[in-house]
Amino acid sequence: MSDSNSPLDFYFDFSSPYSYLMSERIDALAARFGRKVRWHPILLGIVFKANGSAPLTLQSTSKAAYSLLDFERSARFMGILYRHPTRFPLATQNAARAYYWLHGEDCALARQFAHAVFRALFIDDRDVSAPDTVLEIGAKIGVDRNRLEIALQSPEMKERLKQEVDAALALGVFGAPYIVIDGQPFFGADRLPQIEKWLETGGF
Amino acid sequence: MSDSNSPLDFYFDFSSPYSYLMSERIDALAARFGRKVRWHPILLGIVFKANGSAPLTLQSTSKAAYSLLDFERSARFMGILYRHPTRFPLATQNAARAYYWLHGEDCALARQFAHAVFRALFIDDRDVSAPDTVLEIGAKIGVDRNRLEIALQSPEMKERLKQEVDAALALGVFGAPYIVIDGQPFFGADRLPQIEKWLETGGF
C-alpha cells in the first residue's frame, strides 16, 4: 500500500459514458485505501477541440457502432445500470456550474448532486443540458432552486468552470474519465484494475 | 462456458503496442476455453485513413505523452516485457506479407514468426519495417530466406494483404487489437477481462 494519503483527482464530463461508469466506482475504491477523491467536472467539447479530437460516436461509422455496443457491455460487465441517452452528446455546462457552486456550499451535497445528474442522463434518459432539469435534480436533493438558478447564470461560476477546464488542459487531460493519483495519470474506466493495483502497491 | 467452439479472429498491426500485449495473451486465454485464434495482420495506416483517425502518438501532445506512459505501464501490469521502439510508428507490410505467405506453408511456423516480429520490435528495438530484418527473423526460426524474399515481392502476397485489410474494414475494424468472438467485437488489450468473461459465460 502506498505511503501517500493525498486525494485522487477525477476529471470528467457529465455527458461521458465511461465517466459515468467511473463515477459509480472510484470513491469506494479510493476509500478502501484511505484516499478521498476530488471531482472536477469539465467540458469535453473544449478538451477535444484543443486536442484535435471528437466524441467517440462522431469519429467514424465503425467507431460509433462499436462505442454504443461497448458503453452498454462495459456497464453490464461492471454491474452498473446503463441506458444510452436519446440526446447524445449534449452540453453540460449548466450541470458543471451547478456542481462547483454547490461544492462551495456543501461538498457532500455536491457529490450527491453529481451522482444524480449522471443517473438522470444514463439511467432515466433526462435532458440534463436544460437548466430546468438541473434545477429539478437539485431541488429533489434539497438544493434551493432560486439560489441555484442565480448561480447558474453568475459570472463567477462561468469563470470557475472556465478555470477548471483550463487547469485540466494544462495538466494534459485529453479525454475523460481521467484520474490523477500522486502525479500518475490514468485514462478510461478500463484503467480501474491498474488504479487498484497502483493504490495497493504505491506504483508498479 | 459458451456452447460455441468457433475460432476467435484477432486483427492487429505488427507496429501496434496494444496489439503486441494482446498477442502475448490471447492464444492461451482462448485455449482455456477450447478455442483457437485466427491471426490477421493488417495495416493500421489504411484503417486509420478510412476512419479519419491517426496513431495515438501523433494525435496531440497530451495524448502522445500519456500513450507512451500507458504502453509501458500496461505492459508492466500484464507482466510483459516492453521497450518503446526508437522508430515508431513504422511500416509493417513486409512482416504482414511474410506472415500470410508462411501461413500457407506452415501455420504453426507463421504463429512463431508473428511472435518473433512483435518481440523484435517491442523488446529488441529492431527495425522490422526493413525486408532484411524480416528475412533475418524468418531465417532464425528456419524459414527459407530465398523463398521468403521472393514471396515478399510477389503480387499474390500484396493482393492477399490488401484483401485482408479490406475485409477488416468491411467488418468494422477501426483500430487494433480488435478481436471478434461469435460476432461480438472487442477493441483493445484492456478488454481482456471482458473477453475472458465472454468466453466463460457465452455472453453477458
Question: Residue A179 carries which DSSP code?
Answer: E
Task: Name the residue among B69, B70, B172 with its Cβ closest to that of A62.
Answer: B172
| pLDDT tens for each residue of B23-68 | 999 999 999 999 999 999 999 999 999 988 888 888 889 999 999 9
- Does pTM surpass 0.90? yes
Give the pLDDT band (50/70/90) at residue B1. low
- Give chain B positions within 8 Å (CB) of A204: 73, 76-77
Distance from CA of A169 to the nearest CA of B (A): 9
How much is the ipTM here?
Answer: 0.95
Cβ distance A130 to A8 under 8 Å? no
**3-state SS of chain A: helix, strand, coil percent to 5?**
60, 10, 30
| Nearest residue in chain B measured CA to CA from A69 | B185
- pLDDT of A117 > 60? The answer is yes
Which residue, among B46, B174, B201, would best test binding to A if mutated, counting the most A CBs under 10 Å from its CB?
Answer: B174
Instruction: Give the per-residue pLDDT at B7.
Output: 97
Summarize pLDDT for B36-48 with one digit per residue, the tens.
999 999 999 999 9
At A35-90, the pLDDT tens digits run 999 999 999 999 999 988 888 888 889 999 999 999 999 999 999 999 999 999 99
Instruction: Kindly determine whether residue B74 and residue A194, on different chains, have CB atoms separated by under 8 Å.
Output: yes
pLDDT at A1 over 70: no
Q: How far apart are CA A22 and CA A145, in angstroms?
A: 28
Q: Is the pLDDT of residue B159 over 70?
A: yes
